[in-house]
Structure 1
Amino acid sequence: MKSHKDLNVWNRSIELVITVYQVTKDFPKEETYGLVSQMRRSVISMPSNIAEGAARQSKKEFRQFLYIASGSVSELDTQLIICNKLDLIRDESFRNISDELTQIKKMLFGLLNSIKG
Structure 2
Amino acid sequence: MTNTGGGYWRRLVRRLTTDVSELDADDLSRKAVEVGAVRACDCQSGQEVTVLGRLRSVELCPRDAAATLEAELYDGTEGVTLVWLGRRRIAGIEPGRTVKARGRIAVRDGRKVLYNPYYELQNAS
TM-score, with length taken from structure 2: 0.28
**Highest Rg: 1 or 2?**
2
Determine which structure has greater relative contact order: mean sequence separation of CA pairs < 8 Å that are 6+ residues apart, divided by chain length. Answer: 1
More helix by share: 1
TM-score, with length taken from structure 1: 0.29
More strand by share: 2
